[in-house]
Amino acid sequence: MVATIENFEKSKELFKQGDVSSTLDIIEKTIDQLDRNNTAQRKELEEFLHRILKYCRDNNLKSEEAMVLRNLGRLHSKYRNHAEGLKYSYQALKIQKKIGRKLDVAEGLVFLAEDLEISGNYEECIKSFQEAADIYHELGKLRKEKEIRREIERLKEFSKKMVEDEYYLNKFHIDKY
């Protein structure tokens, strides 16, 4: 908890100095360490991210804007507000694709896929993971590609199991009692 507060304060200082990239790097680590029960801290971080987002938009910092949006998506997902998280993740991905930085696109697709999985949208999740795996392959990041392909297989198996379960529930009218 103390590390989170220290990181957050450090990110504020870096932003005052105009170092947006370093600010966003620290915020990304801060989000990972956040306590889900601390809504005040979430609110403060969200407000800070919106200030950075406005700054990025006002100064046409597209790459940084995409990173802010991705962090907003991750923050909302961390607090189980998945619909809002997906909204920001899609916005970030759209910018990252337009810029053409393939590694950022691949990372964004993985974050998006994770949110889609949590929301129960397995078909779109698999598509997002597949696109990320293809980009990692193209970039020569074969270990990362293999890791994602294992996730795809896990999701396909899970989806198959869900369809089978649904079939048996309907066939034997289990859910009607």
- CATH level 3 topology of 101-177: Methane Monooxygenase Hydroxylase; Chain G, domain 1 (1.20.58)
- CATH level 3 topology of 1-99: 1.25.40
**Which residue, among 133, 67, 141, 73, has the nearest Cα to 106 in the 3D structure?**
133
Cα-Cα-Cα-Cα dihedral sign, residues 136, 141, 145, 148: negative
CATH 1.20.58 segments of the chain: 101-177
pLDDT tens, per residue, the chain with 177 residues: 455 678 788 888 889 898 898 999 899 888 888 888 888 888 999 999 999 999 999 999 999 999 999 999 999 988 888 889 999 999 999 999 999 989 999 999 998 998 888 888 888 999 999 999 999 999 999 999 999 999 999 998 887 776 665 655 666 666 555
For 92-123, the DSSP string reads HHHHHHHHT-HHHHHHHHHHHHHHHHHHT-HH
